[in-house]
Amino acid sequence: MATKASSFLPISISTSQFCNEKINNSSLLSLPSSSFCGNKLLISYSKLRNLALKCNNQSTIFTVLSTLPTKKFTSQKIPKWSARAIRSFGLGELEARKLKYPNTGTEALLMGILIEGTSPAAKFLRANGITFFKVREETVELLGKSEMYFFSPEHPPLTEQAQGALDRAIEEKLKSGDSGEITTTHILLGIWSEKESAGHNILETLGFNDDKAKEVAKSFQNTEY
């Protein structure tokens, strides 16, 4: 399916990557017929400070996040998340739904980084033999498969460890004192810091260790856009 994008969105979105479910009609704004797909577009804000878009002539919804959830910091006190980090989070959440998991865990955050694929963190992982398919296989092996008729919520809530990984990503960025955005590198380091999490265990099984964490931090922390 062709990509639908607009200059005011932070990232380019492919409608084939997002779920086909209906949204509530509350707080919707109808845009002119010349916008996006050649038909009216509906816009709605959800709880996660995101932008939900729907084309009237298709049963397709996609979401553009503007920030990632945190429990320890207020939005005024943290740097912006990079477009790649936001996209990775959205794709990880989608992968949790594909696997029919009730929550978005650190393993889903890790898969999101690899599905997005263009960040230095993703390239580092692949260069070290850690691919999406290996991570997905290890995820199913570790967490099992969901029941056939179980359906995940539209936004599977973060596990405590996944939330901890995102908060640690913010902490790492603030601690560095550098300008710029919070990147997928910070998320990867946040996942690794959650020692008892599925994401950490999967990384360790696939050969990631503290030395590689230091290497990725030193090499790529300030190179992502």
For the segment 13-38, what is each residue's pLDDT rounded down to a tens digit? Answer: 343 443 343 334 433 333 333 333 44
168 token code pair: 């640690």
What per-residue string of b and e applies to 139-161 under the rule 16 or more CB within 10 Å gives b?
beeeeeeeeeeeebeebbebbeb
Q: 88: part of which helix (H) or strand (E)?
A: helix 83-98
pLDDT exceeds 60 at position 141: yes
Query: What single-letter amino acid sits at 221?
Result: Q
* Rg from Cα positions in the chain: 18
Q: 29: part of which helix (H) or strand (E)?
A: strand 29-30
15 token code pair: 């409608």
Taking residues 69-95, report their average pLDDT. Answer: 88
* pLDDT at residue number 5: 42
* Domain ranges for the chain: 83-222
CATH of domain 83-222: 1.10.1780.10
Q: What angle do CA 183, 184, 187 make, to 5 degrees?
A: 100
